[in-house]
Amino acid sequence: MLDALVENRQATWATCGVLNDGQRVFYSVKLNTKIEALPGDATDLFCVATTTHDGTATANLLVSSVRVVCQNTLTFALSNNVDTVRVRHVGCVSDVLKRAHDVVIGIDANVANIDAGMKMLTRIVLTERQSQKFLDLVHPVPALPPVDVFKGYSEEKQKRALYEQDLAMRVHARIRELHETGAGQDMKGVHGSGYGWLNAVTDFATHDKRSKSKLESTMVGDASKLGRRAYAVLTEKQTREEICHAA
């Protein structure tokens, strides 16, 4: 499916490999177009396709952005309405492949949207209260139940509730630390902006997450979801308004 981008000279082949002990295959091309949220702060873009060998032959298409200064990774759906194309070993697949081809060829519109979104985030400056609201929306800290209810929990359930709350608070603390000291945060216009906070989250998700495989986690796991959640919180109208009202 990515052949069309290479044939149209929109991209060059980048990587390929396997995940989950060979159960999942991925391949990617590096787009010739880059985005630049701020002068001198370039982000390379890749179009990635993944598929499985379990008989369903589900192909997932996405755009992956890699900020050059820190190698943070953030993935985006390739299309608002077609981000997954299912190709099974039964029936005619030509129509499905044609649809996937059309989505890939139309990637320029997606690149323009990502570029505009990143530039918009550099113009959002968060106060301390707004920063905390952002963290709460991206990775909520679970509240403990009322004391009388908590006392009714088993010892194991109490420990679990306390652990989950403490873990979420430590995630917040680490993201805050990366917002202060992470790679690229010292560049003009980054620290304190929505763009800076997004990069703190993606720094945590891409480099800090202790997983069996950073690549696997970033592409198909919780790290990818955390980064996309942070981007959505900062760009979607409802959550953006919640942050603004926290001032």
pLDDT higher than 70, residue 88: no
- Name the more confident of 3 and 178: 178
* Contact of 78 with 108, CB cutoff 8 Å: no
Q: Can you tell me the distance from the alpha carbon of 158 to that of 156, in angstroms, rounded to the nearest whole number?
A: 5
Q: What is the mean pLDDT of residues 193-221?
A: 70
* Contact of 73 with 43, CB cutoff 8 Å: no
pLDDT higher than 50, residue 54: yes
pLDDT higher than 90, residue 69: no
Model-level pTM?
0.79
Q: pLDDT value at position 199? A: 94
Strand partners, 50: 26, 60
Arithmetic mean of pLDDT over the chain:
81
Most confident of 21-30, 57-66, 92-101, 121-130: 121-130
- Name the more confident of 70 and 180: 180
Q: Can you tell me the distance from the alpha carbon of 175 to that of 204, in angstroms, rounded to the nearest whole number?
A: 6
pLDDT higher than 80, residue 22: no
Q: Which long-range contacts (CB under 8 A, 24 or more apart) does 123-130 make?
A: 123/193, 123/194, 124/193, 124/194, 124/195, 124/234, 125/192, 125/193, 125/194, 126/192, 126/193, 126/194, 126/197, 126/243, 127/246, 127/247, 129/246, 129/247, 130/243, 130/244, 130/246, 130/247
pLDDT higher than 90, residue 114: no
Confidence label for 5 from pLDDT (cuts 50, 70 and 90): confident
Q: What is the mean pLDDT of residues 172-178?
A: 94
Q: What is the mean pLDDT of residues 2-20?
A: 81
Confidence label for 71 from pLDDT (cuts 50, 70 and 90): confident
Phi, psi of 57 (to 5 degrees): 50, 45
Confidence label for 77 from pLDDT (cuts 50, 70 and 90): low
Q: Can you tell me the distance from the alpha carbon of 30 to that of 47, in angstroms, rounded to the nearest whole number?
A: 7
- Provide the sign of the torsion angle of the four alpha carbons 67, 68, 71, 77, taken in this order: positive
* Contact of 203 with 183, CB cutoff 8 Å: yes
